[in-house]
Structures are given as C-alpha cells and as structure tokens.
Amino acid sequence: MKAKVYRLNSGVSRLFLFALIAVMPGLVQAQSATDGQAVKALTTDASGALLVLRNSGLLAVEGQSTTEIPLPPSDSGAPPRSMAKGADESLYLAGPGLGIWRYDNASKRWQSLNDTLPDLGITAIAAHATQAETLYVYLGDGGMFRSRDGGAEWVKVDSGPREPVQAFLHSDMPGSMESGWLFAGTTRGVARSMDCFCFWGDAGELRGTVTAIDYDPSAPENVYAVIEGQLHHSSDGGETWAGLKIPEPVTALTFSLKEGLVVGTEDGDLLSQNASGEWVPVHE
C-alpha cells in the first residue's frame, strides 16, 4: 500500500513539474516584456484597476493581478501614444497613424472613431470631465477637433495653442464661462483655455516640453505636469508651479481612488505616495 501511495505521489509530482516547465517560458516572457520599459500613459478603469500603456502593450493592474488588454488593430502598425478615460469610464487610445479608438467592455473589442476625422495624425486626446459623449483630439497642424456624440462626428473648433500639443486634459475646475477648462502640455510649457475655446494663454511660468499632464478630480485646482522627467505641481489651477522630489524620471501620471496620484517612470515602475509623502512601488 505504501509503495502504491509513493508511486502516486511521484507521478503527481512529475506531472506538476512538466506543467511548470511548460508554462515557465510564457511567465518569463510576460515578465521580461515589461521589465525596464517606460510607461507611456496611465489611467484607471471602472473597477479602479490601473491601466498601464507600454511599448509591449496595455495592462490592467489590480493588486497582484495583471491582465493584458489587446491593442486596437492597425494596418500601419502604428502604436498608441495617448490614453484617456471618459466620464462614463470608457477607455480611449490614440496615436499618430492610429487615430482614436474606444474599447467596448462588453465585446472586449476596439471601435474606430476615425470616420469623420481628416487624418489619423493624432498626437493627444482628452475626454470631457463630466460629459460622457464629449471628446477632444489634437491633429498637429490640423488643430483641435471636438466630438459631442462619442466620436461619430468630429468638428474643428480651434487651431490650438501656438506651440505643438504633446498631451492635454479637460478639467471641471470652477471659473469657466462654459463647462470647464482645457490644459495643454506643449513644447513651451502649459497652455490653458476655457472649453469655449475663447483664448489660449500661458498657465503660469512653467517652461519646457510637457510630456504628460493630469489633475486631481477631487480638487481640480491641483494640476500636475511632467517636463524632462521632472514632476511639477500647481495648487492654483496653473497660476504657479513647484517641482516635486521623486526618485525616478516620470513619463506618465494619473489619479486612482485607491492610490491617489500614481506616476509611471522611465524604468517602467509605478509609484504612489504613502501617508508620509514617500514614493513607494505600486505592485504589478
């Protein structure tokens, strides 16, 4: 009887070993696919999971669980560069040569929103803070376009700031003559306009190429911008700015209900601040 039990345990052990050997290459590949890759963009989904865009793909990170989300199809092979979350939690991806796409959670598929755009050269996108159907895209020399029907029809509304826009956002910060504000990270600094597109002006004296920008939805006057990896903070809607100390160059940022301000770094790390103000890893 003991011999039979031993043989059974030995057989189970061998099966487990063979199964582990079979999946190990995939685990190693998945790990190495993200190691050291800069974070290109960040946002969150309806469940609070972090959505992390790298060159290797798009991942949903929640606690110790990581799920890959397939990228939109592209005949040109153009990768996404910008990511935004709508007021209804819809996810949007965009990039030069790719245009703009919306992810359908029900079908787990991407829907192209490019039919009425003049071209696919989108370098930045933003979603309205409170209106789920209102979206904005920046087409470089083509200017800024807005859709009020979820991307079915796009209309040019403005030429944009004087300098090219690298990233931008819509904020429901008080004081606008319409429904909010647009903050654009340009090659000169941060530009700001009411969403009536009345006038683009400088948001303070911050200078340099802004590669990422976001704001705190619970306190809209708090705006954050990244210049050459350095994180800057404005507590007064862009009037004044102060640099924040952070251990690694920053490439992306977002706000999470669970983590607060989360930044992605040049080395591929995700960091948030603890109660003491220290930057600590957000585990993937």
| Contacts of residue 253, Cβ cutoff 8 Å, sequence gap at least 6 | 42, 212, 213, 214, 224, 226, 231, 261, 262, 263, 264
**Ramachandran category for residue 233: left, alpha or beta (phi over 0 → left; psi -120 to 50 → alpha):** beta
Amino acid making up residue 105: N
Residue pair 129/217 in contact (Cβ under 8 Å)? The answer is: yes
Q: For the chain, which residues score pLDDT lower than 50?
A: 1-33
pTM for the full predicted model:
0.86
Question: Which pLDDT value is given to residue 75?
Answer: 80
Question: Which pLDDT value is given to residue 284?
Answer: 57
Distance of CA 253 to the CA centre of its chain: 7
Which among 61, 69, 65, 76 is positioned nearest to 93, based on CA atoms?
69
SS3 271: strand
Strand order in the sheet with 144-147: 124-127, 135-138, 144-147, 155-158
Per-residue pLDDT tens digits for 41-90:
999 999 999 999 999 999 999 988 999 999 999 888 899 999 999 999 99
Domain boundary assignment for the chain: 1-35, 37-281
| C-alpha triplet 55, 109, 64: angle, nearest 5° | 55
Per-residue pLDDT tens digits for 106-125:
889 999 999 999 999 999 99
The CATH H-level (homologous superfamily) assignment of domain 37-281 is YVTN repeat-like/Quinoprotein amine dehydrogenase (2.130.10.10)
